[in-house]
A and B are shown apart, each in its own frame.
Chain A
Amino acid sequence: MKKLNEMKLTMESRSVNEGFSRAVVAAFAALLDPTLEELSDIKTAVSEAVTNAIVHGYREQSGPVFLTATLTDKPSVRIRVRDRGVGIADVAEARRPLFTTMQGERAGLGFAVMESFMDRVQVRSAPGKGTTVTLEKTIGGKRHDG
């Protein structure tokens, strides 16, 4: 699998950047000519990962969110969202559907959405160090054989 293109984005953990980051990733992933459904899936998963970094990683305090998107010749897109926030002690528990540490109306389905919309979701985290979520999706929509 060869890397075709890559971009990096660093942003403040502000909730307005949820919309900004998914729009940036969608524009970048569009270079692989995905279907509208694939693009919508990618945007939704990125939105969940970035929202987690802001809401959970930094608990709505200020901090940097690092996003890297890589396009490969598979063709596939790989997105890494990293924060230097509080981290997760038990990743398996955090990934369980409906698990949430938040009061109010967070549904606890962020990881469930990422898992169902992407082909692969990897979470690496250490308490006090931060969390890195890696999302991967094969783009099969339109062929580039011709």
Chain B
Amino acid sequence: MSAKLEYGGGVVRVRFSGEIDHHAASLLRASIDSAIAQKRPKTLILDFGAVSFMDSSGIGLVMGRYKLMQAIGGAIRVENLSPGAYKVMRLAGLDRLGELKQKEVS
């Protein structure tokens, strides 16, 4: 599990890779939150393209960041979800809070 952060043009993009569970989520949170606090981006993009597994811990991870972005008047986008991760996020109704995009099937 890791998260690579990029910033440019008012956008913070977080590229997750590996497995996101309760064990990993607590470690990922801190670096994302400090980037939001420092850069105050207009948009936060959470890119799940390289995530091989996600359980309901991913919901808390997205929800928590959604609240932070809302507090600074920004938006959140969730991209490249695998079918499994998309299913978990839909179950939580996260598609109503922001944009949820599935991975393109090539």
Docked Cα-Cα span, A138 to B91, in Å, equals 21
Cross-interface CB contact of A37 among B57, B61, B84, cutoff 8 Å: B84
Interface of A is mostly: helix
CB pair B91–A47 under 8 Å, yes or no, is no
CA distance A107 to B83 in the complex (A): 20
Contact indicator B19/A113 (Cβ below 8 Å):
no
Residues of A within 8 A of B64 (CB): 105
Q: Which of these binds chain A: B6-14, B21-29, B41-49?
A: B21-29
**A40 and B56 within 8 A (CB):** no
Instruction: Report the contact-size class of chain B (Cβ under 8 Å from the partner).
Output: 20 to 34
The B contact surface, by secondary structure, is helix
Give A16 to B87 CA distance when docked, in angstroms.
24
Q: Which of the residues B54, B56, B82 comes within 8 Å of A107, measured between beta carbons?
A: B56
Max chain B Cβ within 10 angstroms of own Cβ: one of A41, A55, A117: A117
Known: A18-B21, A51-B22. A109 touches B53 (CB 8 A): no
Residues in A39-68 with C-beta less than 8 Å from chain B:
40-41, 43-44, 47-48, 51, 54-55
| Contact (Cβ within 8 A) B21 A107 | no
Contact A109-B91, Cβ < 8 Å, known A18-B22, A51-B55: yes
Q: Give the Cβ gap from A31 to chain B, nearest Cβ, in Å.
A: 20
Contact between B23 and A19, CB atoms less than 8 A apart: yes
Which residues of B line the A interface, CB within 8 A? 19, 21-23, 25, 29, 53-57, 59-61, 63-64, 82-84, 87-88, 91-92
* Chain A residues engaging chain B, CB cutoff 8 angstroms: 15-16, 18-19, 22, 37, 40-41, 43-44, 47-48, 51, 54-55, 104-107, 109-110, 112-113, 116-117
Q: List 6 A-B contacts (CB under 8 A).
A: A15-B21, A18-B21, A40-B83, A44-B88, A105-B25, A110-B56
